[in-house]
Structure formats: structure tokens, C-alpha cells
Amino acid sequence: MAKLNESKKNERALKNSEDEAARLCEQWRQKAMAAERTTKSAQALQNTIDHLEHRLEIANTEKLDAQEQLFNIQSERSPFDFGLPKIQVPPAFSQESTNVRIYF
């Protein structure tokens, strides 16, 4: 009879241990699912940020193009007119003021 009682006691301990392990397993599974949802949410937010940055870049490019076109209209120029820029040397750097002589 003592062996039977001992066996039932061991069986209850094993059953409690199994229930505890199942409960812990379920908790960890729920935590893993929550972490996975958080990761997916973070990735979705990053995709949204990337998309908005791309749209902003396109909008900025279109704005720059519009400003350039407005400048060309106001200055009555064609975007294909190429004029050489005039180099303006300040008087402080002229040959007379620095006493530099250039020999050719």
C-alpha cells in the first residue's frame, strides 16, 4: 500500500510539473508572438518612412525643376543656352596690388 501511495504522489508531482511546463511554454509562445508582431510593425513603419522619404525626394526634385523653369521664363532664357560664366577677380587679387608679374 505504501508503494501505491508513493506512486500516486510521484504521479501528482509529475502531473504538476507537466502542467507548469505547459504553462511556461504557452507564456513563452505568447511572448514570441508579441515580439514577432512588434518586429513586423517596426518593419512596416520603416517601409512607410522609406516610402515617404522617396516621395519627398521626388517632390523636392519637381520643385527644383519648377524653380529652374520659372527662372528660365523670367530671364527669357532657354535651358539649352550655354553662356560661359564671367570670372570676376576682386581688385585685391589683381596683378598690380600683389606685385606679381607674369612672364610668357
What pLDDT score does 86 carry? 59
What pLDDT score does 83 carry? 65
The Cα–Cα gap between 11 and 18 comes to 10
Residue whose cell numbers read 504557452: 26
Check pLDDT > 70 for residue 51: yes
Q: How far apart are the first and last CA of the chain?
A: 123
Query: How far is the CA of 65 from the CAs of 19, 30, 73, 96, in angstroms?
Result: 69, 52, 12, 44
Report residue 85's pLDDT band, with 50, 70 and 90 as the boundaries.
Answer: low
Higher pLDDT, 26 or 101: 26
Check pLDDT > 90 for residue 89: no
> Could you tell me the pTM of the whole model?
0.53
Q: φ and ψ at 98, to 5 degrees?
A: -105, 0
**Which amino acid, residue 61?**
T
Shortest CA distance to 77 belongs to which of 68, 65, 86, 64? 68
Q: In sequence order, what are the residues at sequence separation of 6 or more whose Cβ sits closer than 8 angstroms to the Cβ of residue 80?
A: none
What pLDDT score does 34 carry? 97
